[in-house]
Amino acid sequence: MKKFINKPENFVDEMLKGIYASHPQQVMFVANDLRCYVRKEAVKGKVGIVTGGGSGHLPLFLGYVGEGMLDGCAVGGVFQSPSSEQILEVTKAVEQGAGVLYLYGNYTGDILNFDMAAEMADIEGIKTATVVGNDDVASAIKGEENKRRGVAGIFFLYKAAGAAAAEGMSLEEVKRVAEKAKANVRTMGVAFTPCIVPEVGKPSFTIGDDEMEIGMGIHGEPGIRRGKLLPADKIVDEMVYPIIKDLPFEKNNEVAVLINGLGATPKEELYILARRTLHILEEEGLKVFHVYVGEFATSMEMAGASISLCKLDEELKRLIAAPAFTPFFSQKQL
């Protein structure tokens, strides 16, 4: 294991201390717990949006806390859910009288703790609603979308719901927007190498030097096919066509595209994927509204990438286009 580490058990807390020290104008922690991460400036009367999940995926999850996006994040250990108490503390900190939306990925531990926190918040008089991202096409067949994992495509849910809350929509409306985005986002990933959880100290799985695994999850969950490494365009074909077929995306649909690196893959390669992806979309008659290329949801030092498509209507387009400003992501009005 070659990592910048002092002690494996301090990995998450030292990372958090670094973030707070680097971005003191934008974020802080509450409840005397580094893992209760919130926006510095609360907006009165705005619906709060809280996410959470394991560490090891930056900029997911906490990276989207900031102006125009989320209000708080409960931070778990590497690949571990935060506790319900941490979620509750973040909830209490971001509540501004309009209720709080829980928006996170579809993982058992996270669901258990967010549901528990929602019940506790209710007892303490805070109204919450929940939307769980499940964009990973490879993780369950069509018709069983509720079993699909949440991966990079949750970025579009954050973006749309965050902009909706910033516009002053009610909790019900922000939830509706998040659900609409969720229904219209699909992702496929491919992994080349495993990642190493610091406290484990060795790779989470093994894969041959000349192999890839299509559909692997962001914690190394098994994908749908392992095989010899193919040329980039062939890999993109194997990812994009299943996404298009799944929703399905149809001729003249307007889409936003997210090409995401899993941690160790250089941006150069991501643009090679973007090139082929956009070529396919053009051939399929899909209209591209905007393309995001970079790291949005990683898996430590895993090499690989994911491709997400989000089908847009006028409302989603407006919300995706709205400005946002966080320590990890910012965009001008598109």
Partner 1 sequence: MEALLREHLEPLFFSIKESFERNKEFLIDLDSKTGDGDLGLTMSKAFSAAHESVKASNSSNLGQILAMAGIAISRAAPSTMGTLMATGFMRGGKAIENAQRIGTKEMADFWLAFSKGIADRGKATEGDKTILDVAAPVAKSFSASAEKNESLAVAMRYALDAAGKALEATKSMIAQHGKAAVFREKTIGLQDAGGSALYILVKTMHDFVLA
Q: Using CB under 8 A as the criterion, which residues of the chain lie in contact with partner 1 when the complex forms? A: 83-85, 88, 112, 115-116, 119-120, 122-124
Could you give the CA distance from residue 152 to residue 164 in angstroms, rounded to a whole number? 20
Q: Are 135 and 182 in contact (CB under 8 A)?
A: yes
Q: Based on CB atoms, which residue is closest to partner 1, 112 or 183?
A: 112
Of 23, 219, 279, 290, catalytic: 219
- 83 vs 326, beta carbon nearer partner 1: 83
Distance CA 127, CA 89 (A): 14
Nearer to partner 1, 45 or 125 (CB): 125
Residue 319 backbone phi and psi in degrees, to 5:
-75, -40
Does the active-site annotation cover 290? no
* Strand arrangement of the beta sheet that strand 211-214 belongs to: 225-228, 211-214, 185-191, 304-312, 254-261, 287-294
Alpha-carbon distances of 69 from 1, 47, 59, 190, 276, rounded to whole Å:
35, 11, 13, 27, 30
Nearest approach in angstroms of CB 110 to partner 1 is: 14
Q: How far is the CB of 34 from partner 1 (least distance, A)?
A: 17
Task: Tell me which of 23, 57, 279, 290 is the catalytic residue.
Answer: 57
Distance CA 183, CA 153 (A): 11
Dihedral pair phi/psi, residue 206, rounded to 5°: -115, 145
CA quadruple 300, 302, 303, 308: dihedral positive or negative?
negative
Q: Which is nearer to partner 1, 115 or 269 (CB)?
A: 115
Q: Least distance (Å) from partner 1 to the CB of residue 82?
A: 11
Helix (H) or strand (E) holding 315: helix 314-321
Minimum CB separation from partner 1 for residue 115, in Å? 8
Q: Which residues of 119-144 are buried (b: 16+ CB within 10 A; e: fewer)?
A: ebbeeeebbbbbbbbbbbbbbeeeee
Closer residue to partner 1, CB minimum distance, 118 or 138: 118
Residues with a catalytic annotation lie at 57, 219
